Structure 1
Amino acid sequence: MNTSFPFADWFRSSSPYINAHRGRTFVLLIEGEALQEGRRDSLVHDIALLHILGVRVVLVFGIRPQVEAALTDAGLPVKRGRTPRVVDSAAMALIEHEAMRLRLALEAQFSLGLPNTPMYGADITAVSGNLVMAKPFGIRGGVDYMHEGEVRRVRSEAIDSMLDQRHLVILPPIGYSSTGEVFDISAVDVALHTATALKADKLILMGEQAGFSDPRLGLQRQLSPADAGRFLGESASLGEELRRHMEVACHAARQGVSRTHLLSWRDRDALLGELFTRDGVGTMITRDRYEQLRDAELHDIGGLLALLQPLEEKGILVARSRERLEHDIHDYLVIERDGMIIGCAALHLMPERTFAELACVVVHDSYRGGERGDVLLGAIERRAQERGVTTLFALTTHTAHWFFEHGFETGSLERLPPSRQQNYSPTRNSKVLIKTL
């Protein structure tokens, strides 16, 4: 007598995906709502299965609802939503507690090995640590955000080493600074920076909704970043979380992550259904590529103005007129991607020929994190050396740390060439940074 097992056919059909995923790096974000008591067990079991099947897993988790509940219990103000929030010392203590509490709970579940459980014999080592470096969000619009931070960099080599040793890496939404401070940072930003730093094969974002559904066409199984960007512009009714996930998916694709999957944690089978079936159950956004670094030309003026204007409006850059850009166009390098200017930098030679100013180093918000700033700086330094420049300087009000990381040192106004000292604006109070080539 033949006995039919429905799962057998599914298991056979999943074998190509099991083979394809083995040895690949997946960065998985799970929002905090999915990790509340009673909800996370099946997700943990499925993540453990990915690990057992040879996937290199980095798990990033959110804690927004847990923190909001803790703030409410403590009688502290709660700011709803996912925009940056002012985080004082009392709030930061609760954020640290909730992040560590949930991290320990996850590590405990990955350690489970009792008979008659899906984790029996798994023997998973879950590790974490100071793997995400952060910087303060700072003072913006006159508001001091205190312990609110932004991702500065991810220690990708350390994470790679842990993954090579068959560890499962867990990253809470906490960042550490070089001055020994701890910052609250966005979990989705941690996932994005981790995926791009590791050049991950997949970024998986698990929120409340099962990807993007068009009112006319239904669930969209696959989108390019261009299509996703168009839907973002046209769909005013998207929830805040899904909109943010789609934006991050577009960023990731443009920064080299092959595929980003948008899934719902409400579907307990979503993770395996997306990764081990032909059609999947969510929305996948795949990257597009077409990019070059080149000298700027007059026809790039419109693209440069569009790139620079948002930063000029924020006061980060000094406003440049079309006439000035036209006059200085041969000082600029640009990064063009599929007809769009997404990055630029300028080398302004001084009358004192051994001095030159590095100016206007800008990368479009959607394309940051892919080392394009480093590429621009390297090209500018090579151009400067070819022209006999021995001292490169920059003036900045917002990005001093990036320059420090690339060999610049703090200088005084007196160290600038006389021609540049005369044009220095005391009202901007820019820091003077200098690098010897």
Structure 2
Amino acid sequence: MEIEKPYSHEAQDNSKSQFVRWFREVAPYVHAFRGKTFIIAFNGELIQDGILNTLVQDLSLLSALGIRLVLIYGSGPQINEQLRLKGLPQNFNGCLLKPTDSASLECAKEAAGEIRLDIEASFSQGLPNTPMSHSQIRVISGNFITASPVGIVNGIDFQHTGKVRKVDTESIRSAIEKGSSVVLLSPLGFSPTGDAFHLSMEELAANTAIALRAEKLIFLSSSSGLINKNGSIDAEIARAKAELLIKNNDIDNETKKFLENAALAVKKGVARAHILPYSMDGSVLLEIFTHDGVGNMIVEDNLDDLRAATIDDVGAIVSLIEPLESDGTLIPRPKSLIERDLENFTVLEHDGIIYGCAALYIFEEEKMAELACLIVHPEWQSSGEGELLLRHVESKAKKLGLDYLFALTTRTSHWFLKRGFIKGNIKDLPKEKQNNYNRSRNSLIFIKKFSFIKTIGV
């Protein structure tokens, strides 16, 4: 008979150290997002699939961390159920815009009221030894949305289907800034004449995020998200690429609708928009508090300005590098060396002018990469171009399956520290780089790991 071994002190110590390391690494995200507004939007399928209570537990944690929340829900399956009970045709399937007759509008009102009560009940939980223990979150809902009718489109009268006319941002901000309160918006809006209209949840979420200048718009989807050519989740999608995917029309209706409104929100000033699988436990927390995330993130990056270097760019790259070589910031690189390594370079171009560059050198054996020659012309600095180059290089390294990015610098240590790098030493470098390290320059070494999830065994 095999006797189960007790949990060792060594395992306990390892578990504790992993937790401490994880908690410390999460801290920058907590600081960054405190006081920021997040829009969390989901369709009625999430509720139908029994995910609501788990989601609310995660959202209550975000609220406790000082993140201001606006929740927006859809109600398609619930409307269909009300229609079924009344013996009426069920036509609220998918995400396509559909007419809403008087009977369907009444069902939409009933479904919205039922869901609102379910959400309020979920936020009212407070059982000991659960994530909701000591939670006291107030759910505030009301007539925050002014709507107008869609009208007649291509000869079809959409009747009581509406579109967002105005978001009462002042009242919403007043509600979410009062501590532990979240605002809940139903897919209904009201006209100045007192008429009610059924709204698209996705369009409502995008318009609300834009009006509130939200930090994040998060859509929770029944699908796994958009997959790249390597078969993994496409973690970061530039808005231009998102619009191309929409135009090609080779994605499912739900994802297409989310992507359309995510791209619109980012175009109109929302910092980030995300599409996450709600079937993954804790997907909202993983997306917000880990570097890699678990879903699709849509960003505004203008990829027209960002491209791989060509032989015609060598002269411009040399011109960017020369002033920094002269003052000792960078080691001298002859033109021949840049030509040899050209495939490692990315450039920023605007109106035919190269105003920034960066190079990525791969060390496959150690699953590491070096960020080198990150330069932005002085006239273009302080506008986020360096950040853009860094994100591009990081994304490229991650897609290659690498775990670490490192940089050597003598003048810009604070810039790297602010962007998640930590100070390292020569022994942390790949063997080839250790052998070539120029000790006379005494460059500082900064290292960034792409995913701390792997390091804590989650």
The TM tier, using the shorter chain, reads 0.5 to 0.7
For residue 269 of structure 1, what is the aligned residue in structure 2? Answer: 282
For residue 395 of structure 2, what is the aligned residue in structure 1? Answer: none
Question: Which residue, 281, 297, 302 being the options, matches 2:294?
Answer: 281
Give the secondary structure class of the aligned counterpart of 1:151. Answer: strand
Give the secondary structure class of the aligned counterpart of 1:93. Answer: helix
Shift of 1:27: 0.5
Shift of 1:38: 2.7
Max radius of gyration: which structure?
2
User: For the Cα contact (< 8 Å) 1:210–1:283, is it kept in 2?
Assistant: no
Shift of 1:117: 2.4
For residue 201 of structure 2, what is the aligned residue in structure 1? Answer: 187
For residue 96 of structure 1, what is the aligned residue in structure 2? Answer: 109
**Equivalent residues in 2 for 1:294-373 (5 A)?**
none
Q: 1:8 to 1:72 in 2, by over 3 A?
A: farther
For residue 35 of structure 1, what is the aligned residue in structure 2? Answer: 47
Cα distance in 1 for partners of 2:88, 2:32 equals 48
User: For the Cα contact (< 8 Å) 1:86–1:146, is it kept in 2?
Assistant: yes
Cα distance in 1 for partners of 2:110, 2:241 equals 40
For residue 323 of structure 2, what is the aligned residue in structure 1? Answer: none
TM-score between the two structures when normalised by the length of structure 2: 0.61
Cα distance in 1 for partners of 2:155, 2:199 equals 20
User: For the Cα contact (< 8 Å) 1:221–1:280, is it kept in 2?
Assistant: yes
Shift of 1:28: 0.7
**Equivalent residues in 2 for 1:392-431 (5 A)?**
none
For residue 21 of structure 1, what is the aligned residue in structure 2? Answer: 33
Shift of 1:217: 5.3
Give the secondary structure class of the aligned counterpart of 2:147. Answer: strand
Matched, 1:206 2:220: yes
For residue 295 of structure 1, what is the aligned residue in structure 2? Answer: none
What is the identity percentage for the equivalent residue pairs of Structure 1 and Structure 2? 37
User: For the Cα contact (< 8 Å) 1:253–1:288, is it kept in 2?
Assistant: no
User: For the Cα contact (< 8 Å) 2:95–2:257, is it kept in 1?
Assistant: no
Shift of 1:289: 7.3
User: For the Cα contact (< 8 Å) 1:206–1:262, is it kept in 2?
Assistant: yes
Cα distance in 1 for partners of 2:94, 2:54 equals 27
For residue 53 of structure 1, what is the aligned residue in structure 2? Answer: 65
Amino acid aligned to 2:198: D
Cα distance in 1 for partners of 2:281, 2:23 equals 18
Amino acid aligned to 1:279: D
User: For the Cα contact (< 8 Å) 1:254–1:288, is it kept in 2?
Assistant: no
Shift of 1:66: 1.3
Shift of 1:254: 0.7
**Equivalent residues in 2 for 1:79-158 (5 A)?**
79=91, 80-158=93-171
Question: Which residue, 185, 190, 195 being the options, matches 1:171?
Answer: 185
Give the secondary structure class of the aligned counterpart of 2:39. Answer: strand
Shift of 1:46: 0.4
User: For the Cα contact (< 8 Å) 1:132–1:153, is it kept in 2?
Assistant: yes
Cα distance in 2 for partners of 1:226, 1:141 equals 28
Q: 1:203 to 1:130 in 2, by over 3 A?
A: same
Runs of 4+ in 1 over 6 A off after TM superposition: none
User: For the Cα contact (< 8 Å) 1:175–1:182, is it kept in 2?
Assistant: yes
Cα distance in 2 for partners of 1:217, 1:186 equals 31
For residue 22 of structure 2, what is the aligned residue in structure 1? Answer: 10
Deviation digits for residues 67-103 of structure 1 (CA, Å, limit 9, x no counterpart): 1222122211122332222222221111101101101
Corresponding residue pairs, total: 291
User: For the Cα contact (< 8 Å) 2:225–2:233, is it kept in 1?
Assistant: yes
Cα distance in 1 for partners of 2:100, 2:247 equals 31
Matched, 1:256 2:269: yes
Amino acid aligned to 2:258: H
Question: Which residue, 68, 74, 94 being the options, matches 1:62?
Answer: 74
For residue 220 of structure 1, what is the aligned residue in structure 2? Answer: 234
Give the secondary structure class of the aligned counterpart of 2:206. Answer: helix
Cα distance in 2 for partners of 1:122, 1:81 equals 35
Shift of 1:288: 4.3
For residue 84 of structure 2, what is the aligned residue in structure 1? Answer: 72
Q: 1:231 to 1:143 in 2, by over 3 A?
A: closer
TM-score between the two structures when normalised by the length of structure 1: 0.63
Give the secondary structure class of the aligned counterpart of 1:214. Answer: coil
Shift of 1:269: 1.8
User: For the Cα contact (< 8 Å) 2:52–2:122, is it kept in 1?
Assistant: no
Amino acid aligned to 1:106: I
Matched, 1:230 2:244: yes
Deviation digits for residues 98-128 of structure 1 (CA, Å, limit 9, x no counterpart): 1011011101111222223221111111101
Gaps of 5+ in 2: 1-8, 304-349, 352-458
Deviation digits for residues 26-81 of structure 1 (CA, Å, limit 9, x no counterpart): 01101211112632111010011100110000011111111122212221112233
